[in-house]
Structure 1
Amino acid sequence: MGDCAAKRPGADIPLPPPYHGIHASPPRDGHKRINWMKPTNRSDRVRVRRHTCECKATIYELCAAGGLLFIRRTTRGKKVEIRETERLVATRMEELWVRLLSGEVH
């Protein structure tokens, strides 16, 4: 068997550099508004498929639950505010995700 540094006791395993994720672009002039709603908690399990970088006060997550997708927006500050979009089939929500990242919608 090959030698694996991870299996040797006391081996220094180098860690990957910190990941700096994608950022949503600022809203463009004439952008369309997303209807952000209070979370409904209608799913017992939600899987985050993609997310924006956590270095900003507002982060976005593309979430999957019950065969549908939605976007969750978390705004951090003195008070944390969470909002979600409606739930749509994958094709439509992935398109909205790309438009959000490009600043076409906000």
Structure 2
Amino acid sequence: MNSEPLDQTCDLAAPPEWECPGVSPHPARARHNHKVLDWTSLAPDRYRVHEHTCACTAVYYELIEHGGLYLIHKVVQLDTPEHTFAGPWRRAESRHR
């Protein structure tokens, strides 16, 4: 029996094990002074995606616009994807979240 502990953690910021198309950036690790966002599952009825991180990772993000305000859309890719939203902010505020 192996006495070494198993590493059961998953680094969501690590590159995927398969070939990534490199279309968009990967989400970065949270900084030590990061701001905790309030997430909700209430989705806007229509929105436009302005920017996004690469969807080859387990979690990806989109900067979306709805009615002149900006939100962050987080998608956790599971068998049934989980969608949550943070915001809204005005355009200038959304760049610093």
Q: Which residue of 1 aligns with 2:92?
A: 91
Structure 1 runs not aligned, ≥5 long? 1-17, 97-106
Q: Which is helix-richer, 1 or 2?
A: 1
**2:26–2:54 contact (8 Å) kept in structure 1:** yes
Query: 1: CA distance between counterparts of 2:88 and 2:63?
Result: 11
Q: Which residue of 2 aligns with 1:25?
A: 28
1:29, distance to aligned residue in structure 2 (A): 3.0
* Equivalent AA in structure 2 for residue 85 of structure 1: A
Query: 2: CA distance between counterparts of 1:79 and 1:33?
Result: 25
1:62, distance to aligned residue in structure 2 (A): 0.2
Structure 2 runs not aligned, ≥5 long? 1-20
Query: 1: CA distance between counterparts of 2:95 and 2:31?
Result: 19
- Does the residue aligned with 2:94 lie in a helix, a strand or coil? helix
Q: Which residue of 1 aligns with 2:15?
A: none
Q: Which structure is higher in RCO with an 8 Å CA cutoff and minimum separation 6?
A: 1
Task: Return structure 1 stretches of 4+ with deviation > 6 angstroms.
Answer: none
Q: Which residue of 2 aligns with 1:60?
A: 61
- Does the residue aligned with 2:89 lie in a helix, a strand or coil? coil
CA distance 1:30–1:94, shift in 2 (3 Å)? closer
**Superposition pairs of residues 28-47 of structure 1, within 5 angstroms:** 28-41=31-44, 43=45, 45-47=46-48
**Identical residues among aligned pairs (%):** 29
1:19, distance to aligned residue in structure 2 (A): 4.5
Query: 2: CA distance between counterparts of 1:76 and 1:92?
Result: 27
Q: Which is strand-richer, 1 or 2?
A: 2
1:30, distance to aligned residue in structure 2 (A): 4.3
Query: 2: CA distance between counterparts of 1:20 and 1:52?
Result: 9
